[in-house]
C-alpha cells in the first residue's frame, strides 16, 4: 500500500472511531430511588453522582432521584430494580438478606466493633465478594454507604436499662433477625415498612422504633416518639445497586464511568454522614429531645447473644473472618 493510501485508511479509521463512539453511545437516564428526602447524606451523594456523570459525558448520562419514598418502601424498590423498571436504588443492607443471605452477617446485633472495623470489612475482600454475589440476584452492587448505628426510641418512657424495653412494641425493618433481636431484649419486634412508620407510631400500632440519629431526626419521628437512647445495637451499612438487566445493555465505557462515579459517591456520602450525625443530635436536643447517651451496653449485648448464634451459624466462616479483620 502506498504511503498516501495508508494515511487515508488510518485517518478514515480514526474518523469512524470518533463517529462510531458518538453515535453508538446513547443518552441514559438513571432513575434512582431512596426513602430519604433530598438533603440527606444518601440522596445528596447520589445527586453528586449524577453531577459527575453529567459533566463527564457532556449531559449524555443523568441521574433522576425519586426521593422521600415516592416509589414506596425498599423492598419494592429492590424488586423494581431487579426487573429493570428502575435503573438504581439505595437501600439498607437490612433488607438485602432475601437476595444474598450472607449480607445478614452485617445485620447481626453488636456485630461490628467500630465504624473503622465496619469500613475495613465492607471495603475489603468480604464486602466486595458480597456485592459481587448480588449479580445472581439481578443486581450490580456499586458500593457501601455509611448509616451509623441504630438506637431505640419510643413514645412512652426513657429507656435507661434493658428492662425498660419490656412490653414495648418496636418497629423493625422487614427481616426476621431484627424481630428476634427486639424480642430477645424483652420488647415486641414488629416488621413494618419505613414509609408506614410515622403513622404507625402516631396511631399506636407500635410504641416506637430504632434507627440512627439522622433518620430519627429527618423523618420527624421525634414528634411522635420523644425518648431516644443510644443503645447502638446495630451498625447496618447501606448499599446502592444497579439493575443488571439495564447494566447488561450498557456500553462498557458507560459501565466504567458509573463504576468510577460510584467510588467517588461513596467517599462523598461518608463525608456527609460524618457531619450529619452530630448535626442531627444537636437538632434533636434543640427540639427538647433528651438523648440518653450513657448506656451500659453489657446487658443489651448479652441478651442478643442467642440471636448472633442462631442467625450467624450459617455464616460462621464469614463471621470469623470478619472478626479477624483488624
Ligand atoms: C434508615 C436507612 C433506610 C431504611 C430505614 C429503615 O437509611 O435505608 O429504610 O433506616 O429503618 O436508617 O427502614
Does the structure show a pLDDT above 70 at 10? no
Q: Is residue 262 very low, low, confident or very high in pLDDT (cuts 50, 70, 90)?
A: very high
80 lies in the same domain as 100: yes
- The pLDDT value recorded for residue 82 is 98
123 lies in the same domain as 73: yes
33 lies in the same domain as 127: yes
Closest CA to 42 of 241, 196, 231: 241
Query: Cα of 211 to ligand 1 centre, how many Å?
Result: 7
200 lies in the same domain as 73: no
Closest CA to 104 of 234, 212, 215: 234
Q: Give the whole-angstrom CA distance, residue 232 versus residue 210.
A: 9
Q: Which atom of ligand 1 is nearest to the CA of 193?
A: 13
Beta bridge partner(s), residue 188: 169
Does the structure show a pLDDT above 80 at 5? no
Cell 415486641 locates to 188
Nearest CA to ligand 1 atom 5: 194
| Domain count within the chain | 2
pLDDT, mean of residues 145-164: 98
Q: What is the mean pLDDT of the chain?
A: 94
Residue 283 lies in a domain: no
- The pLDDT value recorded for residue 14 is 44
Does the structure show a pLDDT above 70 at 8? no
- The pLDDT value recorded for residue 174 is 95
Chain segment 56-83, per-residue pLDDT in tens: 999 999 999 999 999 999 999 999 999 9
Nearest CA to ligand 1 atom 6: 194
Closest CA to 87 of 260, 249, 252: 249
Residue 12 lies in a domain: yes
Can you give the C-alpha Rg of the chain in angstroms? Answer: 23
Residue 201 lies in a domain: yes
- The pLDDT value recorded for residue 212 is 98
Residue 53 lies in a domain: yes
Does the structure show a pLDDT above 50 at 123? yes
52 lies in the same domain as 95: yes
170 lies in the same domain as 293: yes
103 lies in the same domain as 230: no
Query: Cα of 186 to ligand 1 centre, how many Å?
Result: 23
Map residue 238 onto helix, strand or coil.
Answer: strand
Positive or negative, the CA dihedral 43, 44, 46, 51 is positive
Residue 273 lies in a domain: yes
Q: Is residue 16 very low, low, confident or very high in pLDDT (cuts 50, 70, 90)?
A: very low
Tell me the best of 92, 95, 217 to mutate to test the pocket of ligand 1, counting ligand atoms within 8 Å of each CB and taking the most: 92
Ligand 1, CB within 6 Å, residue ranges: 35, 74, 91-92, 147, 173, 194, 211-212, 215, 238
CATH of the domain at 200: 3.40.190.170
Find out whether 74 and 86 touch, Cβ atoms under 8 Å: no
Q: What percent of the chain has pLDDT over 70?
A: 93
Find out whether 78 and 87 touch, Cβ atoms under 8 Å: no
125 lies in the same domain as 172: no
159 lies in the same domain as 191: yes
- The pLDDT value recorded for residue 162 is 98
Residue 200 lies in a domain: yes
48 lies in the same domain as 166: no
Three cell numbers written together for 17: 472511531
- The pLDDT value recorded for residue 24 is 59
Q: Give the whole-angstrom CA distance, residue 96 versus residue 133.
A: 11
Find the domain containing 210 and state its range. Answer: 149-235+289-321
Q: Which atom of ligand 1 is nearest to the CA of 148?
A: 12
Chain segment 19-49, per-residue pLDDT in tens: 444 445 799 999 999 999 999 999 999 999 9
Pairing mode, strands 28-33 and 139-145: unpaired
Does the structure show a pLDDT above 90 at 306? yes
126 lies in the same domain as 19: yes
pLDDT, mean of residues 98-117: 98
Nearest CA to ligand 1 atom 7: 92
Residue 301 lies in a domain: yes
Burial-class residue 238 by CB neighbours within 10 Å (0-12, 13-18, 19+): buried
Residue 284 lies in a domain: no
Q: Give the whole-angstrom CA distance, residue 15 versus residue 36.
A: 46
Q: Give the whole-angstrom CA distance, residue 140 versus residue 174.
A: 22
208 lies in the same domain as 311: yes
Q: What percent of the chain has pLDDT over 90?
A: 92
Amino acid at each position: 500500500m502506498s504511503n498516501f493510501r495508508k494515511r487515508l485508511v488510518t485517518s478514515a479509521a480514526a474518523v469512524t472511531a470518533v463517529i462510531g463512539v458518538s453515535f453508538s453511545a446513547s443518552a441514559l437516564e438513571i432513575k434512582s430511588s431512596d426513602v430519604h428526602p433530598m438533603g440527606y447524606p444518601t440522596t445528596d451523594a447520589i445527586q453528586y453522582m449524577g453531577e459527575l456523570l453529567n459533566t463527564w459525558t457532556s449531559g449524555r448520562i443523568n441521574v433522576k432521584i425519586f426521593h422521600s419514598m415516592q416509589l414506596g418502601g425498599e423492598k419494592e424498590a429492590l424488586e423494581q430494580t431487579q426487573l429493570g423498571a428502575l435503573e438504581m436504588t439505595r437501600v439498607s443492607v437490612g433488607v438485602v438478606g432475601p437476595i444474598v443471605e450472607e449480607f445478614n452477617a452485617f445485620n447481626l446485633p453488636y456485630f461490628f466493633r467500630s465504624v473503622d472495623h465496619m469500613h475495613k470489612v465492607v471495603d475489603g475482600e468480604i464486602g466486595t465478594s458480597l456485592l459481587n454475589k448480588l449479580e445472581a440476584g439481578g443486581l450490580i452492587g456499586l458500593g457501601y454507604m455509611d448509616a451509623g448505628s441504630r438506637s431505640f426510641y419510643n413514645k412512652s418512657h426513657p429507656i435507661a436499662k434493658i428492662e425498660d424495653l419490656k412490653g414495648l412494641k418496636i418497629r423493625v425493618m422487614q427481616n426476621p433477625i431484627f424481630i428476634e433481636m427486639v424480642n430477645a431484649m424483652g420488647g415486641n419486634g414488629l416488621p413494618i415498612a419505613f414509609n408506614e412508620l410515622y403513622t404507625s407510631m402516631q396511631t399506636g400500632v407500635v410504641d416506637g422504633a430504632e434507627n440512627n440519629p439522622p433518620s430519627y431526626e429527618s423523618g420527624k419521628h421525634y414528634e411522635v416518639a420523644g425518648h431516644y437512647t443510644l443503645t447502638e445495637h446495630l451498625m447496618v451499612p447501606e448499599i446502592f445497586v444497579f439493575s443488571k438487566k439495564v447494566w447488561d445493555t450498557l456500553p462498557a465505557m458507560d459501565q466504567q464511568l458509573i463504576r468510577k462515579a460510584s467510588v467517588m459517591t461513596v467517599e462523598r456520602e461518608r463525608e456527609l454522614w460524618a457531619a450529619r450525625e452530630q448535626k442531627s443530635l444537636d437538632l434533636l436536643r434543640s427540639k427538647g429531645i433528651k438523648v440518653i447517651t450513657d448506656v451500659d451496653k453489657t446487658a443489651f449485648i448479652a441478651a442478643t447473644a442467642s440471636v448472633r448464634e442462631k442467625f450467624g451459624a450459617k455464616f460462621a466462616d464469614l463471621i470469623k473472618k470478619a472478626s479477624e479483620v483488624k
